[in-house]
Every structure is written in C-alpha cells, then in structure tokens.
Amino acid sequence: MKVLSLPSNLKKLYTHWANLQQVQKLYANKDWYGCIEGSNKLIEQMRNDFFGFYYRGLANVELKQFDEAISDFEVSLVNLEQNRFPAVMQDYKRDVNYRVTWVFRFQRKYSEALERISSTLIEFPHYVGGHKLKADIYEDLGELENSLSAIEAGLESEPENSELSENISGVEEVFKFHFGSSIKSRGISFLNVSIASSISSNEMFS
C-alpha cells in the first residue's frame, strides 16, 4: 500500500505549528535567548506570522531590551490585522497593547503610555487590567484625581475587583500625605452606589 505524502503547504503549516509549540515551551521555561532563536525561525518561515514577533517581543521584555520589544510588538499587531480570523485574535491584540503600555510606563514615557492604554480601552472598555494600569500611570504622574477616575471606570465593569479596591486605598493615602485631608473630605466622590455597597466605606476612606 502506497503511503500518501502531505501536500507541501500542509507540511509547512505543520512544521510552523511544531516550532511554535517549541517556542511556547522555551518561553514557559524562561529560556529567553532560546525563545528568541525559535521566534526567529518562525519569522523566517512566515514573515507575516503574529506569534514569532509576539514571543520575541515577550522575551525581549524579559531581557530588558525594550526598544526591540516595542518594535516586535508593533509588527505583531500589523500581522494580527492580516490574520484570516482577526476576531479570534482579539485577546492577543489587547494583551500586546497592554504590554506596549507597560514598557512605555517603565521607560517613563508617560504620554505614549497614556495614549496607548486610552485607545486600547476605547476598543476594550471592560478591560479591568487596562483601567488599573491607567490608574497606576496617573499615580506615577501625581494626578490622583485622574487615577481615581480610572479606578472607577474599572470598578464599573467589575465592582468586586480586589486589586482596584486596594488601589483606592493606596491613592487615598498618597492624597492625604500631599494635601493633609482625604479625597472624600475635599468633595471628590467617584464611586457610585452599587460600587460603594460592595466595598465598605472604612476600607475606601479610612
């Protein structure tokens, strides 16, 4: 009986898939240089591949090669939009934009960070992690009212999110340190009734 061989395009896809599995394993094992080497192979096989640039960007972040990481992430987004099924890639799109914002914040490029996370939240308004990151950036800048506004937006999507609740307490402490009074006493109220009912006022404004 004659064994049928796979068509060349299927062989290419299988090889690419197998290499991607290896890259994911290298990343999980924190082999950053191996991950970059494997990602380079993915890119050589398919220049419009999303995952090659994505994982190379992730590894470059871990190696603190931030400019290279940003470049890889930006290309990965371009390739993502060219994907045959872009709708199924939306979680990756959100994740890449989050990571780009994180790098900008780490580099203290705050205007770029705010621009990126703001545009991301327009597309993904219920992304709580994005609202938290935006709040953190505003806190870095000392813009505490804007930080609380970002926290509020996140809590509207997920009222019982513990990380955002902790952020409120942290921002309140910073506000007291700088202004000698609580945010609440200065007439700034950002939390609606449904949110306030899920978190005790003592926790928010101790």
The H or E element that residue 184 is part of is none
Q: Which pLDDT score, from 0 to 100, does residue 116 have?
A: 98
| Backbone phi, psi, residue 205, to 5° | -130, 55
* No. of helices (H) and no. of strands (E), the chain: 11, 0
What is the pLDDT confidence band of residue 65, given thresholds at 50, 70 and 90? Answer: very high
Tens digits of residue pLDDT in 138-183: 999 999 889 989 988 988 887 777 777 676 666 666 555 555 555 5
Find, among 122, 159, 121, the residue nearest to 133 by Cα: 121
87/205: higher pLDDT = 87
The pLDDT, as a whole number, for residue 198 is 38
Q: Which helix (H) or strand (E) holds 154?
A: helix 144-157
At 44, the amino acid letter reads E
User: What is the rounded CA–CA span in Å between residue 30 and residue 19?
Assistant: 17
Give percent of the chain above pLDDT 70. Answer: 75
Can you state the angle between helices 162-179 and 144-157, rounded to 10 degrees?
160
Q: What pLDDT, in 10s, does the model give residues 188-204?
A: 444 433 333 333 333 43
- Enter the tokens of residue 169: 């307490």
